[in-house]
Structure 1
């Protein structure tokens, strides 16, 4: 009995070891992800601390305001705004503070302070901001300024312009820190956003091609769904390009980044089109497999060539090189698609061929080629007969 009682222990030990291994692996991955987020935002943290300290010093020591709460708050709000919107956010911040202060002071001077007065100040400040056509930043700042005026700041018998001045000082200090003292590297901003978007587009195109070659409808459907959900990454990429351009224009230390950023900006426009075409392509791949249409041998490689072209574009943009390899990969996709078309495809297959051509054109255009030259290159790669058929 004793031996029998001990027999489960060797079996339990491997299970426990497996659980511990998985737990350690997840903890390690989580730690790396969190460390990466900290590393990515360390400059922003330094900017916020420096801006808050400078804003307080100027308002308190230089201008002489006794309690310049709005100065450091405004500086931090500017730096925590979505990069690419900081000039607009500065204007909205100052206007929002002005609205909140004006509404708060007017009500306090008229009916005093208290709980029900606060319940009146906040909605009136929000209504005033909305009436002026402000965005969410202006509305939020108006409401929060009204709350601060009604609760934290000392009651006065007149309007208190120091608060508006403090907000303006904080906003300007935030911009100075952003532009002159600790400007972010715009290329780093763009690359961090571009890599996930390009990786998803490249990987899902390759998976769609592989799934078509293997006749695996489940994998094809999964790739199609992931492409459909990739708008968030692509939107982040476009926003990062805009933000990088703002920084490169305003920060003298980053002026040298304007040329590489222009290449990213042009690529982003055509990659957006490429993603839309790729979504149609991936859905039609699923339909080919569902309807059991013929799959010419050159059709799956054509889709995979598109994915490789996107992957190559990512590397060439990161290196600041001429995307010549991207063009070659995209034109290879067009040639393979032309072969598939001539071999014979069904209805869904013809749509896939058309989307391959459209996406190849987008990628060649994203590589910096003029529109007329793109049409010539893709037309030659596709073949005159197919081009003529499409035109008719």
Structure 2
């Protein structure tokens, strides 16, 4: 039995590893191309051991998230600065513990004067340490290494432009994950609320509260896509698509926040042994189905042009049925749940491409409940920490 369990775990790890490789195959190609080209250019310039050229190229390509181009420039400057200053100092005073300490301090100090970015200072220190230990002056061309570092960084940026990563793929994947969690939590809440099962709702709420990492990843992926557009002219034709992607970030963020608030009030309702009306539960069920289908579409499963209009009509129909009568004579938490349900409908309609005003018009008239729901969204980050 232990051997069987070990084989299963090994199989799962292998599958996870293959999945990671599929997600990062372009980086593998970019890094290999950049390292080889950078080394070749160093050789063409007559440098015997252009070690820092491929190293700088790979470091530049390893940057992720937003402001990738700026971070890449910081890396190029930092590595070049650290190599040049390290060469100068170590060639003058020799190698040893105190010499390395001086080289690192000088590199960080100068990098800090040049730019406020921590990344630049860290890379300058890292390069100075390499010069002082593994490749001390005299082993390969002195100041040539500073040139190699600069060449490698430029090659890395060029490869980013010539072999660009899709500005949409990672951002859409992160949006799909959040929408999938929204659908799953709403389904769990709907089923548990029907039984007034506060513990099950609390479990769903914990899952919803654990999405901040995904939200951060979604924002970083969208910013990275925007940076890729700036770096690569080959992607300029996709500008309108990345703008559309960025437009839905706030509605997606609001959707998971509204889901958290809704789940919290559903738990309160269950704790006082009340259940929502059957119509309210049906609304949640239908909204969860739409969120799940949107998640599939952002994962690339299906035709958006064919299905988005269908989902928009479904949401409008749900909104038209989400009137005050759904929670009439219900306990206060049920009425708040209705407000959050309506807010969710607006969020999902915006994800489908409607403006906020158009999405609001799809809702049945209800008075001021929406204001309460929106206040909960605005204060969600604060209230989550207090409950």
Same fold per TM (> 0.5)?
yes
Indicate the residue corresponding to 1:387 in structure 2: 367
User: Is 1:267 the equivalent of 2:252?
Assistant: no
Please say which of residues 332-341 and 278-287 is displaced more in the overlay: 332-341
* Conservation of the 8 A alpha-carbon contact between 2:84 and 2:143: no
Distance in 2 of aligned mates of 1:391 and 1:147: 58
- Is the contact made by 1:220 and 1:285 (CA closer than 8 Å) also made in structure 2? yes
Matches of 2:288 and 2:232, distance apart in 1? 36
Report Cα offsets for 1:335-366 as digits up to 9, x if no partner: 45425545322221222111112221122122
- Structure 2 contact 204–263 (Cα < 8 Å) conserved: yes
Which residue of 2 is the match for residue 308 of structure 1? Answer: 289
Aligned residue in 2 for 1:377: 362
Q: How does 1:269-284 map to 2 (within 5 A)?
A: 269-284=250-265
Describe the shift of the 1:143–1:390 C-alpha distance in structure 2 as closer, same or farther (beyond 3 A).
Answer: closer
Is residue 108–residue 117 contact of structure 1 (8 Å, CA) maintained in 2?
yes
From 12, 15, 18, the counterpart of 1:32: 15
Kindly state the Cα deviation for residue 106 of structure 1 after the two structures are TM-superposed.
Answer: 4.8
2:342 is equivalent to residue 357 of structure 1? yes
The answer (yes or no) to whether the contact 1:270–1:366 under 8 Å persists in 2 is: yes
Give, in whole Å, the separation in 2 of the partners of 1:89 and 1:271: 27
* Larger-gyration structure (1/2): 1
Comparing 222-231 with 247-256, greater Cα deviation is found at 247-256
TM-score (norm 2): 0.85
Distance in 2 separating the partners of 1:27 and 1:325? 43
Task: Show the counterpart of 1:7.
Answer: none
User: Does the CA-based 8 Å contact 1:333-1:356 persist in structure 2?
Assistant: no
TM-score (ref. length: structure 1): 0.84
Q: 1:219 to 1:335 in 2, by over 3 A?
A: farther
Instruction: Verify: 1:51 aligned to 2:48, yes or no.
Output: no
2:174 equivalent in structure 1: 193
Q: Once superposed, what is the RMSD of the aligned Cα atoms?
A: 2.7
Cα distance, 1:189–1:389 mapped onto 2, change above 3 Å: closer
Is residue 123 of structure 1 aligned with residue 105 of structure 2?
Answer: yes
Q: Deviations over 1:217-274 (max 9, x none)?
A: 2221111111100111122122212222332443344344433333222112211122
Residue 376 (structure 2) aligns with = none
Q: Deviations over 1:125-147 (max 9, x none)?
A: 23443454533421220111111
Residues of 2 paired with 1:94 and 1:234: CA distance?
30
Deviation, structure 1 residue 189? 2.4
Report if the CA contact (8 A) 2:297-2:304 is conserved. Answer: yes
5+ long unaligned stretches in structure 1: 1-15
Give the distance between the partners of 1:142 and 1:324, measured in 2 at CA.
53
- Is 1:227 paired with 2:204? no
For residues 268 and 167 of structure 1, what CA distance do their matches in structure 2 show?
A: 37
Which residue of 141, 147, 152 maps to 1:165? 147
- In the TM superposition, residue 37 of structure 1 has moved relative to its aligned partner by 1.0
Write the distance in 2 (CA, Å) between the matches of 1:239 and 1:261: 13
Residue number in structure 1 paired with 2:130:
148
Secondary structure at 2:323 match in 1: helix
Matched, 1:74 2:56: yes
Deviation at 1:320, TM superposition (A): 4.1
How many correspondences in the alignment?
A: 366
1:299 to 250, 260, 280: 280
Query: Aligned match of 1:344 in 329, 335, 349?
Result: 329
**Are the structure 2 counterparts of residues 332 and 135 from structure 1 closer, same or farther at C-alpha, using a change threshold of 3 Å?**
farther
For 1:388 and 1:351, the matched residues in 2 are separated by: 11
Per mean C-alpha deviation after superposition, the further-off stretch among 340-349 and 220-229 is: 340-349
- SS class of match (1:349): helix
Alignment partner of 1:176 out of 158, 161, 172: 158
Which one of the candidate residues 79, 82, 86 is aligned to 1:104? 86
Following the alignment from structure 1 to structure 2, what is the Cα–Cα distance between the partners of residues 370 and 314? 20
